[in-house]
């Protein structure tokens, strides 16, 4: 059975994890796969993977949380170690779900969450798929225009629909016409939740501990990366204007068990812009059919 949007009917549950409420939607049967969404304004799990859930659910138990700070989960993220904060709560979610191990699929902010979880506790991750993950080489170059646009959303005159549309159409995707107005409207409504405006989950580090946070948030500075045994597939849009595609090569050079797929004519949202390709490649990699 599917909904009017074409998504399968999903079971919705909210779990208490480390004192935070984590909202989860899931469907399908098979090996468990967590889909971890990106950190743009108004993001949430199901909306970020709307073109992938049904395809993956044909073979897997697809588990789609809203990360802390987003969607229907509790707001607020530890600014001193945001990736660690996300990873701790997703690991806690695995515990609540009774899962010793799972596949992780993460886009951008969610990719950084997945990678940090794998570095801290590699025994909890079967295979991992990362799409333009955050935290790769971020201390080795200046931020991209797309990342600056994202980080500035709640600054200045505050959030607005024109600001969000500019970020999505100019920076998030390669083909601006491929994003319907309704998707921007939905994300804008979520982005102006008063709790989110009061404590945006994705911010540029500041204050006395900013340098330490920046350093800790760059995975290419972490010596554990070269020893991580988890089989990993990195997908990166060749036209990504948020996180530089050169990050894919950085990961492939450091991770000992990593495949790299650079996707032509695609921006930061590989799973949305190239959904058919993504669903096939992701399913095959997670099943070990590469």
Active site residue 268: yes
Give 37-57 pLDDT, tens digit per residue. Answer: 999 999 999 999 999 999 999
Taking residue 276's Cβ as centre, other Cβ atoms within 10 Å add up to 10
Is pLDDT of 1 > 80?
A: no
Q: What does DSSP assign to residue 100?
A: S
Give percent of the chain with pLDDT exceeding 90: 86
Is pLDDT of 142 > 60?
A: yes
Band of pLDDT at residue 211, cut at 50, 70 and 90: confident
pTM for the model:
0.95
Is pLDDT of 140 > 60?
A: yes
Band of pLDDT at residue 3, cut at 50, 70 and 90: low
Q: Which residues make beta-bridge pairs with 125?
A: 102
Give 95-127 pLDDT, tens digit per residue. Answer: 999 999 999 999 999 999 999 999 999 999 999
Kindly give, in sequence order, each residue whose CB lies less than 8 Å from that of residue 83, ignoring residues fewer than 6 positions away.
112, 113, 115, 116, 134, 135, 216, 217
Q: Please tell me the distance from the alpha carbon of residue 63 to that of residue 75, in angstroms, as a whole number.
A: 20
Is pLDDT of 205 > 80?
A: no
Give 17-40 pLDDT, tens digit per residue. Answer: 999 999 999 999 999 999 999 999
Give 235-283 pLDDT, tens digit per residue. Answer: 999 999 999 999 999 999 999 999 999 999 999 999 999 999 999 999 9
Most confident of 5-14, 72-81, 214-223, 234-243: 234-243
Active-site annotation holder among 37, 85, 103, 268: 268
Taking residue 153's Cβ as centre, other Cβ atoms within 10 Å add up to 21
Q: Mean pLDDT check: name the lowest of 60-74, 178-192, 207-221.
A: 207-221
Give percent of the chain with pLDDT exceeding 70: 97
């Amino acid at each position: 059975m599917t909904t009017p949007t074409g998504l399968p009917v999903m079971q919705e549950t909210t779990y208490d994890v480390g004192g935070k409420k984590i909202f989860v939607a899931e469907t399908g049967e098979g090996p468990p796969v967590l889909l971890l969404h990106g950190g743009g304004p108004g993001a949430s799990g199901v909306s970020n993977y709307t073109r992938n859930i049904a395809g993956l659910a044909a073979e897997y138990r697809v588990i789609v949380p809203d990360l802390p700070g987003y969607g229907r989960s509790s707001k607020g993220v530890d600014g001193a170690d945001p990736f660690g904060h996300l990873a701790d709560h997703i690991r806690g979610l695995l515990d609540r779900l009774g899962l010793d191990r799972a596949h992780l699929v993460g886009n951008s902010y969610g990719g950084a969450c997945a990678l940090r979880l794998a570095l801290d506790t590699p025994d909890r991750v079967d295979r991992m798929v990362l799409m333009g993950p955050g935290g790769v080489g971020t201390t080795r170059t200046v931020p991209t225009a797309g990342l600056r646009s994202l980080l500035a959303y709640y600054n200045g005159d505050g959030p607005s629909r024109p600001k969000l549309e500019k970020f999505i159409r100019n920076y998030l995707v390669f083909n601006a016409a491929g994003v319907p107005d309704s998707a921007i409207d939905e994300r804008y409504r979520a982005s102006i939740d008063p709790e989110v405006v009061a404590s945006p989950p994705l911010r540029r580090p500041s204050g006395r501990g900013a340098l330490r946070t920046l350093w800790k948030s760059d995975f290419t500075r972490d010596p554990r990366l070269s020893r991580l045994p988890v089989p990993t597939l990195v997908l990166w849009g060749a036209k990504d204007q948020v996180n530089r595609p050169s990050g894919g090569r950085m990961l492939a050079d450091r991770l000992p068990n990593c495949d790299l797929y650079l996707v032509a004519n695609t921006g930061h949202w590989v799973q949305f812009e190239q959904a058919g390709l993504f669903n096939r490649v992701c399913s095959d990699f997670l099943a070990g059919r590469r």
